[in-house]
Structure formats: C-alpha cells, structure tokens
Structure 1
Amino acid sequence: MEASNPQDPGAAASSYDDLPDGLVVADAEDRVLVFNRAAERITGLPAARALGRPLDTALPLVDLEGRRWWKCTDPYGGLAIRTGQPETRLLLPDGRDVLVTARYVREHGGPVSRVVVGLRDTSARARVERRHADLIATVAHELRSPLTSVKGFTATLLAKWERFTDDQRKLMLETVDADADRVTRLIAELLDIARIDSGRLQLGCYPVDLPELVGDQIAGMTAAGLDVDRFEVRAEERFQVWADPDKLRQVVANLLENAVRHGEGRVTITMALDAAQTAPAEADGAEQQRKGEGPRMVAMTVDDEGPGIPEAMLSRVFTRFWRGNRRGGTGLGLYIVKGIVEAHGGGITVGRAPGGGARFRFTIPAA
C-alpha cells in the first residue's frame, strides 16, 4: 500500500476508512488531516467539512455540563508531560453522546505534533452492558430456585432428622442431588459461553464414529423412559468425523433433547455426506489442500413433527436467552451448540422439517 501524503487530507483519511472506530487526526497547527468513515458515521458530520479545519470547529464536543471540551482540555498547551485524555463520554452538537479518547503525540518531548482522537458509539457499549445485565439476571434467577430447594431440604433434615423415615430422607436427598446437578449444568454453560465469546474454546479432536455416538445418546434417553420407537436413524454409512467427542456429544444431546421436549411424534436423525461441500472421494487431505478444496463434510439433520418454529423467530434461535414461547431453561443451549459447531469448522442452520416441525442441520468435517 502506498503511504498517504500527510499534506493531502483526503489521502490520509482513505488509509483509515476500514477501521471500525472513528479516527480524527490533527497536525501541529490544529488542522484536521484525517476524518475517517467511521467518524462520519458516529458523529453524523461530513469529512469534507472537517478536513483542514481546527478541531474545535471540525469536531465540536461538549461535556455533560455543557462546557466546550477542546477549550477545557487545551491539547496544544499545558504541561509537556501530558500524553492525552482518557476515554470520556461527551456530547455531539445534536445531543447524542459519544466516547472520546485523545492522544498527544510529541517528538523528543517537544510540542504536540499530532492529536489523535478515537471515537466510539455508545450504543455498542450499551448493548454489551445490556447483555451482561441479562446474563446476570438469568443466572440469578436460575440459581435461586435450586439453591432455595437445597437450603430448605438440608435445613429441614438437620433440624428434624429423627422425625423422618428413611424413605423420606432418601427422597429429600435425591431432590438435593438433582438440584445440585442443575446448578452444575448452569455453571458449565456459563464457562462454555465465556470460552466461545473469547475464542478460547479448546477442542481435542480425533476420529469419532458419529452413528455410534448418536446411538449411545438415544440409548441413554430410552433408558431414562423414552419409547425407542420415538427415534428413527438414517445413515448412508458408518461416518467418522474429526471432532472433540465430548463437545460433539453435547451438540447431539442438546438437539435431540430439544426435539423430544418441544416437538411431537417421531424424531428423525439423518447423517450423510454434505453434497455442497464434499470433495472428490479419491482425493486425500493433502491433495485436497493442493487443489484448494476444503475437507469433506458430514451433515447431520434432526427433524421433529411438532409445531415448528415461527418464521419470524428463526433468526433468533441461536442467540442468547432465546426460548421462543416456552418457559424453563436458560435459553443458552443452542447458542453454545452454534459456538461448538463453528469451532469445529462447520455450520448449523434451522428451518422447517418436511413433517411441519423444526429441522436443525449441522455440518462437521469428516475424519
């Protein structure tokens, strides 16, 4: 890329137009050299009117008490040890608030040669804060019920142990055990979300027999009381996929449990090579890479015969706290499923099954 001419404000600004945050740069004479596209979007001020003008005119800002910010901070004056201004919430001419940081660039401790201003839209921070508040509220709500139960039963047993029969004590302890499992699951979900959001979800991948894993999951569900005829498995062959078995089991379990809990009738599980992403069968991995082709992908589809998911809600299914019209649960399961599938290099979609219910389909690399 050619270096921008510092005397050409337009050329200088074009170098920073791909930045997600607003950037404004003024020279030693207080002339604006850079006013990138993000700065235009955040402030609503056109770059053409800002370039070449003083900061106070090009980017008029006031603090929450109505004082002119540039006059108060005096970026070109004051002590030579000043390096800038920390992030501050300020007001634009139209009354909207914006987060502003400023850095004073000096050469060899001399006068300010550049003032670099960063702009961030407060709506992004507000969305993050709302998400954190929702997460805290959901966790508090989900923890309150099992912990109240645990506290109640344990306090009762400790105070009145002799009044209860062995069967009554056993029932209370079983309830406490189930509630402890519920709390453990919630904590595990929160840890998964933290790892997914930070990009630190670690996978220990090796070849996994997908039909066998699905069969084991169904066997566990039928052993818990479900009718074996509730499930139908269709597999073209014994697929081995390249996956973390524990995480893949978490994905399969969540999709099957959702289909059983919220769907009706038979749950159909189909496994096949993904025709849209399948490389030639005779090409090994190294040859596929030389040809610029990706790995072969296996697709697994879970269909139920329930009422399905309304069209207007399909885009929200994999977001945090989505529960549709249902009560119960944290609404985090499908968000985690999407994160796990994508961490494997696959993808997941939701739509309508041929029988009218919901259809979840995910892809994962073949071994």
Structure 2
Amino acid sequence: MFPLGRWRLGLRGQLVAQVVIGVVVVVGMLLLLRAYIAQEEMDRGGRARQSVGRVLAGYIDAQLTNQLAQLARAAGQFALPGARPAPSLLEDARSRLEASSHGVYLLDASGMLIAADPLEIGAVAEAVGRRPEVVEAIARGRPAVSGVHTGPRGRPQFAVVVPVRLAAGVGQLGSLVDPTSPLFVELVEAARAMDDGIVAEVVDQFGTVVSATQRERTLLPAAFPVLAPGAAGTGQIARPIGISGDEPFLVVRVPLERAPWHLVVAVPEARILAPVRRWDQPLAGMGIATFLVLVGLSVLTSRGIVGPVQTLIQSARRIARGDLASPVPRVGGGELGNLAAALDDMRGDLRTADQARAEVDHLKDEFISSVSHELRTPLGFVKGYATTLLRTDTRWDSRTARRCLEIIDESSDQLLELVDHLLDMSRINEGKLSVNPEPTALGPLIEEARHRYGSRSREHVMVARISPECPEVHADPSRVRQILNNLLDNAIKYSPEGGDIAIELEVVDTPVAPMAQVSVCDRGIGITSDQLEVVFDRFNRGRNPLIRKIRGVGLGLPICRGIVEAHGGRIWAERATEQGTIVRFTLPLARSAVEVGGGG
C-alpha cells in the first residue's frame, strides 16, 4: 500500500491505486511476453534463413573455386619448359571451364593482351585487367574475382583471374563468367524452392547485384544497401529498394569465401510474424481477466486491512522474501513511525550486505573462470606435446623432440607460477606469508628484472633510472624479485601497443623514516581514477573492458601488496600524466643506512 502520511489517500484510494498499478504491470508483462515471443520467432526465422544462405553460399563458393582451380592449373602450364603457344593453351583451358564462361584471356605484366579465346573478348579483357580490385589482388600474387559489369553485347559478366608467371613478369590469366547462365541462376533460385517467399541476391564488393531470384535485377544496385557489412546471425529488419511494395523484410547476410561478395537472403517480416499474431486475442483476454481478478481481490481484502500496521507487516514480509530494493513506507508517527524507520534501516543494512556478498560472489566466479582458463591453456600444451612425443607411428628428430620438451617445460613453469600465486594469496589471507629480510641492494635486482623482461618483449623499451645515492634496503631479495616480476609482467600485458616501461629507484622521506621508493611506469591502457584502490583487492581486475580481455586472474597486485606490507612498506597506483599507469611501492632502508643518514 501507499504510505498514508505522504499520499493522504484513504483506504479506498490506496486500493484503487493498487488495482491500477497491478493492471499496468500485468499489461506491461503481457506486452513484454508478446514482444519476447515475436523476437524469438524473428530469431528462429533469421537462423533458418541464415542456414539456407550458408548452403547457397557454399555452392556458389564451390563454383568460383572450380573456376579458379582450372585457371590455376592452366597458369602452371605456361611456366613449364617448352610450353605450347599461348592460343593453344587458352583453347585447352576454355574447354575445361564451365559452360558459363564467355572465354579466357592472357595479359602480360603491363596489362596488354597476349592472347584471347575467342579474340573478340580482347578489348574487354584488357579493361578488366585494369580494374582496381584485379590489379591489387594480382600485385599481391593472389587470385581475384572482379565486380559484375557489362560485357560484350550488353551481357553481364564478371572475371575470375589468377596470376601467371611469364618471362617478362607476372601476368594475368582470366575467365569472363556469365552470372545469368543457368549454373548461377539455378543456384540462387534454389533459395525460393527451399522457402517460398524468399528474396535472394548475390551482391559484389561494389553493391551491385550479380545474380538474384528476380533475374531482371542483375547489374542493378542491391535491394538492401543499408544492411550493415557485418550483419549476420539472426539478421535485421530493412526495407528494400527497387522491389515492389514497401513492407519490411527480415534480412540476413552471408559472406562468400572465394570472392569479396555476399549473399543476401530476405523474407517479408509479416510472413515471419504470422504465427505470433494468433496470440494477440488470447493475450488480450488474459489482460481483461487479470483486471477483473485484481478488482475482485481488492474488494475482498479491503475489509481485513488495518492501515499502517498491515503496511508494516507487508513490508516485513517483503524483506523476509529477499526484496531489499523496495523502501519501507513511513506510516504514521510515534512508535509506528519509529518502527517503520527501524525496519527501513534494517532493510538498508541488509541490502548493503547483500550487494557486497553479490559482488564478492561475482568476483569469485570471475576468478574461477580466469584460473580455469589460465590452467587450461598450459595444460593443453603439456597434454598435446606429450601426446605428440608418445606417438609410436612417427619418429621425431632430436630438434623437434627438444622443441616439444621446451614447450612442455615453459607450460609447466606457467602452471607452477599460477600455483605459487594461489599459495601466496592463501598465506597472505591467513597472515602467514613468510619473509626473510636482510640488507639488500635494489639496483642489481632492478637491472636483472629489466634485462629479463626486456628480452621477452621486443615491442617495449625497458628503462631503469636508479639513484646512485640509494642505500640498501631491509627486505627479502626473493620477495622483492617477485614484486618486480609481477609489476613488469602487468606493465607489458596492459600496454599491448608497446612503448617505454620505466623503473625508477629513489629515496623519499615519509612521516616515519626515509624509505626506498620503486616506481614502474608504463604507457598502456591505464586505470580509471575510481579503480586505483580496488585493483589491489584480490580477484579484482578493474572494470575497463580492454583490461578484462587480457589474460590474468587478478592476483598479481594483491600479492604485491601483501609482500610490501609484510616488509612495513606501502604500495599504490597513480594515473600517468599523459597515458598509462604508475605503480609505486616503498621498502624500509637497512639499519646501517638509516644510522648513517641519521648521523649525517
């Protein structure tokens, strides 16, 4: 119910308001249900048409592959010693091509015609050889499929071209293909046989129709030019251009593999949604029935409701069921008001605790997922290469066997490192992390880490700036090395574009005593200001989607914090001035260094 003090409604007004809200909610739910059913039907229809498109695209790819294979076989004949004259080879190549070919031709490295079969296609062949998409592909040594264009006698055609090595350089061996031949038209029209009402078009890289279920659309602009280039999956809704009628279509796009073309399969949206519209009347009846039920229940329960007390009882029951989002109404004053305030305070505390628990559960789930992935990758290498070496049907040379063993060794090191991280995190949580501090020079440790990681990543430049006045610190060398390894590993991972990574060592004054400060600065993705503190919490990898795509389990920085704090130091992160992140940590100076500094 609504709080009386705030809304100043009587019992009847509160009941009317409840009925209205209930009707709105139910109607909204029914509309959502109807929308959900419609979307499911659209998704199902899109997937079905996508399957049809993939089958047809596969057949078209097969035809293009056959054309290219025949041309590649013929191109190999030109490179053989004592090869026959070009006209004879072209005549032989044309005899092996499909009936849809207008003819074959051979161009030299400058694009001039050497031979053509028949000769009348020579001028067209030279024009095709100068098309940008053909020139670019041949320059890369790759076969090309041109866009559709008008050929001799106004007939549509496209070219399939392969590079051929000639004495004067790399030339072109091509075939002019007729997309209106029965071979291509029957493939596209097969879509209509699979599903009546389908509109299918093969569209080239320039948005021109190569072949379509409506044959007269060849050489016209595509009927669905607004379709996003990457559209796939369940498709999208679009209105056609150049097709009679203005009804929307469900459109899916299937790219071809052998040509920079795509196959568009479309079906009227009304055809897809016809089964859904049969639900409209039953859903309307359910809405009316629900309204009548709500009115009847309100009338029946009005006699047994006792204003504020019943409101508080309902609020308490909502809290008991786990609804912590709805506030407890402030009803009345005096003791009832205090009780309502106390219930609302309890709800707020429970909600805060529940959100914290949910966040921890979410972080744990992410951690388990990340650890599983980090374990699976090296285990896969170990299993795969071990199985390879154990095969009895193959004898491996020593070099190959050694490489397999090296990969197994590297993967084992990754597993060991991950297990060590988990054990260290467990010891830190239990307060049992052991450190053995001793007078330690940080300079050699920094140089060692710089050389190690510098050799691992050639895209990054490791720079060390070590203050010559920095004395020894009182720290465990192995743990300091672990900190440096974690920080440099993070710096490399989160600066995928490369750049400088600087390691700085200096002595700074703190409120307690002078301490050695080490800073690791990268020019990578960076950390947002609100995440600078939480990245040191266990399992937390921040909320930047770019960071979360990078491998890791979120234990490196928490372990660093545990080690630094075990030495009596402090670790924190800062945003770099321009780009990137700076992580700094401090360690206490060795006693002799402190005494010398104090004596000075």
TM-score after normalising by structure 2: 0.37
Give percent identity, aligned residues only.
Answer: 33
- C-alpha separation in 1, matches of 2:377 and 2:572: 33
Aligned to 1:171: 403
- C-alpha separation in 2, matches of 1:346 and 1:198: 19
Of Structure 1 and Structure 2, which has the larger fraction of its residues in helix?
2
Match of 2:508 among 266, 274, 286: 274
CA shift, 1:201, in A, is: 0.8
2:430 matches 1:212: no
Helix, strand or coil: the match of 2:478? helix
CA shift, 1:219, in A, is: 2.7
2:468 matches 1:249: no
CA contact (8 A) 2:503 2:521 kept: yes
CA contact (8 A) 1:153 1:176 kept: yes
Aligned to 2:594: none
**Matched letter for residue 160 of structure 1:** T
Aligned to 1:358: 581
CA contact (8 A) 2:460 2:499 kept: no
Q: Which has the larger radius of gyration?
A: 2
- CA deviations over 1:34-78 (Å, ceiling 9, x no partner): xxxxxxxxxxxxxxxxxxxxxxxxxx9xxxxx9xxxxxxxxxxxx
Aligned to 1:142: 374
CA contact (8 A) 1:236 1:271 kept: no
CA shift, 1:304, in A, is: 2.3
- C-alpha separation in 2, matches of 1:94 and 1:140: 32
Structure 1, unmatched stretches of 5+, are: 1-59, 61-65, 67-90, 97-118, 278-293
- C-alpha separation in 2, matches of 1:347 and 1:133: 29
- C-alpha separation in 1, matches of 2:322 and 2:541: 35
Aligned to 2:466: 234
TM-score after normalising by structure 1: 0.58
CA shift, 1:232, in A, is: 3.2
CA contact (8 A) 2:470 2:505 kept: no
Aligned to 1:313: 531
Change (3 A) 1:329 1:265: same
Match of 2:541 among 309, 322, 330: 322
- C-alpha separation in 2, matches of 1:217 and 1:247: 13
1:70-89 mapped onto 2 (5 Å cutoff): none
CA contact (8 A) 1:254 1:333 kept: yes
- C-alpha separation in 1, matches of 2:516 and 2:464: 18
CA contact (8 A) 2:571 2:586 kept: yes
- C-alpha separation in 2, matches of 1:216 and 1:144: 30
CA contact (8 A) 2:470 2:516 kept: no
- CA deviations over 1:303-345 (Å, ceiling 9, x no partner): 2233533334334322324164231122221121122112211
Match of 2:429 among 186, 197, 209: 197
CA shift, 1:252, in A, is: 1.4
Change (3 A) 1:184 1:229: closer
CA contact (8 A) 1:234 1:268 kept: no
CA contact (8 A) 1:232 1:266 kept: no
Let me know the Cα RMSD of the aligned residues.
3.4
CA shift, 1:227, in A, is: 8.7
CA shift, 1:191, in A, is: 0.4
CA contact (8 A) 1:211 1:239 kept: no
- C-alpha separation in 2, matches of 1:342 and 1:311: 23
Structure 2, unmatched stretches of 5+, are: 1-312, 325-348, 591-600
1:1-367 mapped onto 2 (5 Å cutoff): 92=320, 128-160=360-392, 162-224=394-456, 226=458, 230-263=462-495, 264-277=498-511, 294-319=512-537, 320-322=539-541, 324=544, 325-326=546-547, 327-367=550-590
CA contact (8 A) 1:233 1:269 kept: yes
**Matched letter for residue 559 of structure 2:** I
**Matched letter for residue 517 of structure 2:** A
- C-alpha separation in 2, matches of 1:321 and 1:173: 35
CA contact (8 A) 2:437 2:475 kept: yes
- C-alpha separation in 2, matches of 1:356 and 1:225: 20
Change (3 A) 1:260 1:133: closer
- C-alpha separation in 2, matches of 1:229 and 1:157: 38
Change (3 A) 1:94 1:262: closer
Aligned pairs, number: 247
- C-alpha separation in 2, matches of 1:257 and 1:145: 18
